[in-house]
Structure 1
Amino acid sequence: MKQKETLNPALLLLFRLVVWLYTSVTFLPSYVLSRVFGPGGAHRGSEEERAARAKARSAPGRPEGPYRAVSAADGLATALHPGVDTLDKVFEYAATRFPHRDCLGTRELVSEEDEHQGNGKVFKKVETRDTPPPNT
C-alpha cells in the first residue's frame, strides 16, 4: 500500500524557485568561464581541431602498434632510479637506503584460540606482538 504525502503547493513552488535561482547564479557563469578560461584556455582550439590532432603515435612506426601517447612518445619509465631495474636491485637499494627501518620480520605469538561460529565454522583467533629487534 502506497502512502501519498501531500506537500503545500506554495512551499513546493518556492523550493523549485530557489533551486532554479541557485542554478542560474552558480552553474551558468561557471560554465561560461570554464569554456573561456578552462584547461588550455582559448588556444585549445575548436572541437574539430582537437579531434583531428594526433593523440597517439605508433612506437616502432608500424601501423599495427603498439601506440603511445604523443606526450610520452620519447619512452616509458622503466626504473624509478638509474640502474635499479630488477626486483633484486630494488630490494638491495631499499636495504641500503633505509638501513634502520624494519623490512621483514617476525611476530611473537601471544595467544591462540578457536572461535566457533553459529553456522559451525571454526576460526583461529591469534594475538601477536612485534618482536623487538636484536641489539647490535
Structure 2
Amino acid sequence: MSNSNAQKNKAIVLKAFDTLFNKRDFTAAERFWSPNYIQHSAHIESGRDGLFNLIKAAPPSLKYEPGVILAEDDHVIVHGRFSNIGLPVNWIAADVVRLMDGILVEHWDVIQDEATEEQSKSGNPMFGDSFPK
C-alpha cells in the first residue's frame, strides 16, 4: 500500500471515530460504517446498529481521544482513550479496523481499564503524557 493510501485510511478512521464518538452525528457516521459492518468486540453487539446503539446509550459526556495510529494495507490500528463512559475508570483501547473502498467494514479491539498513577507499576501512564485526573 502506498503511503498516501495509508494516510488516507488513517484520516478516514480518525474522522469516523470523531463523528460517532465525540460529535454523535449518527447520520454522518452512516457514511463511514458499512451497513454490513462486522463486529468482533465482546463489548459491542453485532453490526453497525450494535455500535451505534452502544454510543446512543452512553453518557453524553463520552469523549474519545486518539493516540498512536498505524496503517498497513486495508487495516488501521488506533490506540486511544474513552473517557466519561459511565464507568468508574476510563478505557484504553487498541481498535483495529478494516476498510474497503474507504468504508469501515470490520472491527476488533483490545480494551483495558486505565490505571491511575498509584496503580501503575511502571510509573508511566497508559495513554498520553499524564495520568487521568
TM range, smaller chain: under 0.3
TM-score by length of 1: 0.19
Higher strand content, 1 or 2: 2
More contact order relative to length (CA 8 Å, sep ≥ 6) = 2
Q: If you compute each CA radius of gyration, which structure gives the higher value, 1 or 2?
A: 1
